[in-house]
């Protein structure tokens, strides 16, 4: 955090993510730690390139004001990612009760011993899409994309194995049902045969009994 006599300015550098043909923004925080009304004005060495909102205003006593700086879309990022643009924040004591509409350029003129604080901020470019760090323990240097591909292949293999297992279980289930049906048919046939055999056995016993009865009757008749 950088400190002036009237306001604290944070950060001390303006960092803009740089990407071709896209705007980028960053913000400043102006903190008034005094009991006075503080007027501020933001200037830049390249006004056509940047938009500042608000570029001037009043920071109330013991209050904070946020300023957004937008860099216009650039055709191409500089090869060395260096920038010479700078910003200047001026601050001065304003009359009690002043509003943003009351801020004028005369407030920042050093006349009659008037105190005007100035603070300069430089512009720093940073890559919009920094490279992802290589995961630790990756001795073979596999990229995250290859790791992701391997994961997809592993999931696909697991899925195929699962489908194969389900298919095999369905086949075994169908076979078990078929065998159970066959066993039921054989059991029913066996029951029928048993019933038929019991009927034949009863008929044989009846015939033998009648034959024995006839022999006995013949024996008594002869006697």
- With cut-offs at 50, 70 and 90, classify the pLDDT of residue 2: very low
pLDDT at residue 89 greater than cutoff 90 = yes
pLDDT at 206: 63
105 lies in the same domain as 181 = no
What integer pLDDT is reported at residue 3 of this predicted model?
45
Domain membership of residue 84 (yes or no) is yes
pLDDT in tens, 110-135: 887 889 999 999 999 998 876 566 55
Under 8 Å between Cβ of 125 and 134: no
User: How many domains, in total, are found in the chain?
Assistant: 2
In this structure, what token pair is assigned to residue 24?
């980028």
**If phi over 0 gives left and psi between -120 and 50 gives alpha, with beta otherwise, what is residue 117?**
beta
Is residue 8 domain-resident? yes
Question: Mean pLDDT, to the nearest integer, of 58-67?
Answer: 97
Mean pLDDT of the region 152-157: 60
Q: Are residues 72 and 120 in the same domain?
A: yes
Cβ(21)–Cβ(80) below 8 Å: no
Q: 3-state class of 85 per DSSP? A: coil
pLDDT attached to residue 148: 61
| Shared domain check, 93 and 47 | yes
Q: Domain containing 56: what range?
A: 2-127
User: Whole-angstrom Cα distance, residue 87 to residue 27?
Assistant: 12
Considering the domain architecture, whether residues 74 and 172 belong to the same structural domain is answered as no
My answer on whether 120 and 162 are in the same domain is no
pLDDT in tens, 165-204: 766 776 777 776 777 677 777 777 877 776 666 655 656 6
Mean pLDDT of the chain: 81
Choose the final residue of a domain: 74, 109, 127: 127
32 located within any domain: yes
């Amino acid at each position: 955090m950088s400190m002036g006599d009237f306001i604290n300015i944070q950060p001390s550098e303006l960092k803009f993510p740089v990407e071709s043909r896209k705007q980028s923004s960053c913000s400043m925080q102006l903190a008034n730690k005094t009991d006075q009304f503080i007027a501020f004005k933001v200037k830049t060495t390249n006004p056509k390139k940047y938009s500042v909102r608000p570029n001037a205003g009043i920071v109330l006593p013991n209050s904070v004001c946020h300023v957004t700086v937008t860099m216009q879309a650039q055709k191409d990022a500089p090869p060395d990612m260096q920038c010479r643009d700078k910003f200047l924040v001026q601050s001065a004591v304003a009359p009690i009760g002043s509003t943003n509409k009351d801020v004028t350029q005369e407030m920042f003129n050093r006349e009659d011993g008037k105190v005007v604080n100035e603070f300069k901020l430089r512009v720093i470019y940073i890559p919009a899409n920094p490279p992802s760090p290589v995961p630790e323990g990756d001795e073979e240097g596999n990229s995250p994309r290859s790791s992701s591909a391997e994961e997809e292949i592993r999931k696909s293999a697991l899925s195929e194995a699962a489908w194969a297992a389900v298919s095999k279980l369905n086949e075994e289930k169908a076979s078990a049902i078929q065998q159970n049906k066959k066993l039921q048919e054989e059991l029913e046939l066996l029951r029928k045969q048993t019933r038929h055999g019991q009927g034949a056995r009863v008929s044989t016993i009846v015939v033998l009994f009648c034959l024995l009865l006839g022999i006995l009757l013949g024996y008594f008749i002869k006697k």
